[in-house]
Amino acid sequence: MAHHDLQTVSHECGDCPIRHRAVCARCETDELQRLEQIKYYRSYQAGQTVIWSGDRMDFVASVVTGIATLTQTMEDGRRQMVGLLLPSDFVGRPGRPTAAYDVTATTDLVMCCFRKKPFEDLMSTTPHVAQRLLEMTLDELDAAREWMLLLGRKTAREKIASLLAIIARRDAHLKLKSAKGAIVFDLPLTREEMADYLGLTLETVSRQVSALKRDGVIELEGKRHVIVPDFDRLIEETGDDSDGGYLV
């Protein structure tokens, strides 16, 4: 694994993220061919449900553009988001026939899909694909555990600050920082979705966002466009160790 230069591959790979995440062209060109053959695209509109929990799922996929969420729902309607899928994130699991969560497109969404059977065959013959997938899954597991700390121990204000920091970080390498280092981005979630993410009610989310604005931690243009004038200040509000994973 160590000798593969995954960076250089992305340039040669066209528009499908899983190719440069899962495969190294330098030594796996034939695998690229095989991936190419079994891939296809699906599109969904904002708000559409991609998969219901329990549905048969005959493909794995990676997000090309747009944002999707994984959510769990209890019988009485309480909802908890358990995954936020941004471009290049992977959906589905080799070895599981059915989906464990509802997958919903929160924006218009394009996914690059691979039929499961051939993808699994590919996996069992090439160590690199399985390894890369393992690496991605371990990253997700880390994110899930960070999220658990948030859900179990953080205050509402810390939760909001943490979510804003997460989104800011994920967007940071795409979006520009504005003139004097401020970070600017659009919230991809409604207040209700934020609440489902954070284990809060939408009213509490609204109040805490207003509070952060009142205290100058963030500025708002409209309801979704966020300006973070001082990222360090935002991080202070999260309750996290300040050293952990600074802007990459």
Using the rule CB under 7 A, is 131 a contact of DNA? no
| 114 interacts with a copy of itself by CB under 8 A | no
Residue 17 in contact with DNA, rule: CB under 7 A: no
Q: How far apart are CA 131 and CA 145, in angstroms?
A: 21
Q: Is 198 in the site for a copy of itself (CB under 8 A)?
A: yes
Using CB under 7 A, pick the residue from 206, 227, 229, 233 that binds DNA: 206
Shortest CB 185 distance to DNA, Å:
14
Dihedrals φ, ψ of 5, to 5°?
-105, 90
Nearer to DNA, 117 or 223 (CB): 223
**Which residue in 15, 142, 192, 215 binds a copy of itself (CB under 8 A)?**
142
Beta bridge partners of 114: 39, 60
Residue 98 DSSP symbol:
B
Residue from 121, 125, 119 nearest 36 by CA: 119
Of 1, 155, 181, 236, the one binding DNA (CB under 7 A) is: 155
Q: How far apart are CA 235 and CA 162, in angstroms?
A: 7
Contacts of 153 (CB under 8 A, 6+ apart): none
Check residue 79 for interaction with DNA (CB under 7 A).
Answer: no
Query: Which residue, 5 or 76, is less far from DNA as judged by CB?
Result: 76
Shortest distance, CB of residue 167 to DNA, whole angstroms? 14
DSSP states of 173-206: TTSPB-TTS-EEEE--S-HHHHHHHHTS-HHHHH
Q: Which stretch binds DNA (CB under 7 A): 110-118, 162-170, 202-210, 239-247?
A: 202-210
Query: What residues contact residue 212 under an 8 Å CB cut-off, 6+ apart?
Result: 157, 160, 161, 164, 218, 237
Residues 10-69 interacting with a copy of itself (rule: CB under 8 A): none
Size of the site for a copy of itself (CB under 8 A): 47
> Rule CB under 8 A: is residue 240 a binding residue for a copy of itself?
yes
CA 62 to the chain's CA centroid: 11
209-238 positions binding a copy of itself, by CB under 8 A:
none
Judged by CB under 8 A, the stretch of 36-44, 70-78, 205-213, 226-234 that binds a copy of itself is 70-78
The 3-state DSSP class for residue 26 equals: coil
> Following DSSP, what letter does each residue of 145-182 receive, concatenated?
HHHHHHHHH--HHHHHHHHHHHHHHHHHTTSPB-TTS-
User: Binding residues for a copy of itself, per CB under 8 A?
Assistant: 1, 70, 72, 74-76, 78-80, 82-83, 93-96, 100-101, 120, 123-127, 130-131, 133-135, 137-138, 140-142, 144-149, 151-153, 198-199, 239-241
Residues binding DNA (CB under 7 A): 155-157, 190-192, 199-207, 209-210, 220, 222-224
